[in-house]
Amino acid sequence: MILDLFRLSLRNIRHRGLRSWLTVIGILIGTAAVVALISIGQGLQRAISSRVEQIVGYNTILITSRGLNLGQRIRLDIEAIRAIPGVRNAVAVRTETAYVEGPGGKGFLAVLGYDPAMDEFVAEMNLTVSAGRALAGRGEVLLGSRTARALGAQVGDEVTIEGRKFQVVGILQALRAGGFATGGLSMADLLVIPLPELRELFPGPELVQYAVVRLSERADMAAVSERIRDHLRAVGERNASLTDFEDLTRNIQSVISGVQAFLAGIAGIALLVGGVGVMNTMYTAVLERTREIGILKAVGAKDTHVLLLFLFESGLMGLGGGALGLLIGFGVAWAATAIVSRVFQAQGAFSPVLSMALVLGALFFSFLVGAIAGIFPAYRAARLPPVDALRYE
C-alpha cells in the first residue's frame, strides 16, 4: 500500500508539471542559498585551520598586540626570548616603511626584515623567486612583483633604501595575495632585506608585528608563557597578547561560525517561503481533487491513506527542490570562491566543502519543510466526508 501511494504521488506531481516545478523552485532557492553559504564557511574554516597550522603550528606560542591587530606593533627582544628555558627557537616579523628609489620610480614602501629562522616557522616565508636567486648576504634585496614594476627595477639593478644602496638579486614569485605571515601585507608589495640591515636602517627599540615562539618537546607551555610575559613587562610592553594554536584557531573559527550562522539564517527564510509555496500548492490540489478523494474513500481508502498520499506529494516536492538546490548551491559556492580568488589574486586560497552531514542535512531538512507544509492540506483532505467529496463540483 505504501509503495502504491508513493507511485500515485509521483504521478500526481508529474500531472501538475508546471505548478510542481514552480513549487520546487521555491524550495530550491532556499536550499541552494543555505548550502552555498555553509559550504563556503566550512571551506574557509578548513583553510584557516590549515594556514594557522602552517604559520603557527602546535607547541607554539604567538605573541601579538591585543586583538591580533597587526597594524599595532609591540616591543620585544627576540634574542632574550630565545634564551628563555624551554624555548627551542623564536622569530619576529618586522616591517618598516622606508623611502625607496629605483631606476624607474620612487616612493615610501614596506620593507621586511628577513631572518633565515623564519623558514622553520612560517611556510609563507619560504621566499620563492621567479627571477634571480634568494638572499645570500648583506647589501642584497628581493622585490615583490608589483614593487619591481613600481620601481622599474630588474635583477642586477640597484635600489636605494633610506640612503643605502642594495642590489636586486631576485624578484619574488606571486604565489598568493600575502597574509598573516607577512604582517598582513602582500608579498607582491614588499622589499625584503636581511633583518640585521633593517635594524641598522631603523635603530632603536625592536618593534615587531608579531613573534612566533617554538617550544621544546617537553617544555611546560604555561611556565614558558609566564616567563615571556615577565620579559614583556620588563621591556615595558603592556599591549602584548600570547596565544597558542588551539586558542587562535578557536577564536577565528568562532567568528566565522557566527557570521556563517547569521547568513544561513537569512537564507533559511527563503526556504521557509518555499515551504509556504508548497502549502499553497497542496491546498489548491486538495480543492481540485475533492472528487478524487471521495472516490478513493468510496473504494476503501482510509483517512490515513489519504493523509499519507498528500504528505508524500509535499515531501517529494521538498526533497526534489532540496536535491536540485544542493547541486546548484555547491556550484554557486565553487563559482564564488573561484571569482573571489581570481579578483584578489589568491588562487587556491580555499575551496568550498560539501560534507556528508551537509548533504544529508539539506535533503532531510528540505523534505521536512515540504512535509510540514503539506500537513494542513493533507489533514483537510483526509477529513473530507466521502459523500460530500463525491458530490463536490
Domain ranges of the chain: 2-52+250-390, 73-238
Q: What is the pLDDT of residues 310-345, one digit of tens each?
A: 777 788 888 888 888 889 988 888 888 888 777 665
pLDDT at 177: 46
Cell numbers linked to 144: 615583490
| Residue length of the chain | 393
Q: CA separation (Å) from 382 to 191, 298, 363?
A: 76, 13, 27
Residue 251 three-state SS: helix
- Alpha carbon distance 102, 153 (integer Å): 6
Q: Which DSSP symbol is given to 7?
A: H
Kindly tell me if the per-residue pLDDT of 281 is higher than 80: no
Nearest to 198 by CA among 332, 92, 326: 92
- Specify the pairing of strand 190-194 against strand 158-161: unpaired
Q: Which DSSP symbol is given to 132?
A: E
Beta strands in the chain (DSSP E): 60-65, 74-75, 87-101, 106-114, 129-132, 140-143, 158-161, 164-172, 190-194, 207-208, 210-215, 240-244
Tell me which range, 15-24, 146-155, 212-221, 295-304, is most confidently predicted by mean pLDDT. 146-155
Phi and psi at residue 84, in whole multiples of 5°?
-70, 130
pLDDT at 159: 94
Q: What's the pTM value of the predicted model, to 2 decimals?
A: 0.56
Q: Which DSSP symbol is given to 352?
A: -
Cα angle 121, 126, 129; round to 5: 170
Confidence band for 193, pLDDT divided at 50, 70 and 90: very high
Write the CB contacts of 14 (distance below 8 Å, at least 6 apart in sequence).
Answer: 20
Query: For a pLDDT cut of 70, what percent of the chain falls above it?
Result: 77
pLDDT at 349: 61
User: What average pLDDT does this structure show over 79-94?
Assistant: 87
User: What average pLDDT does this structure show over 257-285?
Assistant: 74
Lookup result for grid cell 506529494: 313
With beta carbons less than 8 A apart as the criterion, state whether 326 and 38 touch: no
Neighbours of 201 (CB within 10 A): 16
Residue 164 three-state SS: strand
With beta carbons less than 8 A apart as the criterion, state whether 254 and 350 touch: no
With beta carbons less than 8 A apart as the criterion, state whether 155 and 171 touch: yes
pLDDT at 243: 78
pLDDT at 212: 85
Give Rg (Cα) of the chain: 32
Cell numbers linked to 51: 594556514
Candidate from 2-11, 148-157, 297-306 with smallest mean pLDDT: 2-11
Q: What distance separates the 2 farthest-apart alpha carbons in the chain? A: 101
Cell numbers linked to 97: 616603511
Cα angle 211, 70, 175; round to 5: 85
With beta carbons less than 8 A apart as the criterion, state whether 142 and 161 touch: no
pLDDT at 142: 92
Confidence band for 101, pLDDT divided at 50, 70 and 90: very high
User: What average pLDDT does this structure show over 356-378?
Assistant: 82
Neighbours of 15 (CB within 10 A): 11
- Alpha carbon distance 257, 235 (integer Å): 37
Averaged pLDDT score across all residues of the chain:
78
With beta carbons less than 8 A apart as the criterion, state whether 114 and 190 touch: no
Lookup result for grid cell 563556503: 40
Residue 128 three-state SS: coil
Q: CA separation (Å) from 210 to 76, 78, 164, 204?
A: 9, 11, 26, 17
Confidence band for 280, pLDDT divided at 50, 70 and 90: confident
With beta carbons less than 8 A apart as the criterion, state whether 288 and 12 touch: no
Nearest to 189 by CA among 99, 109, 100, 291: 109
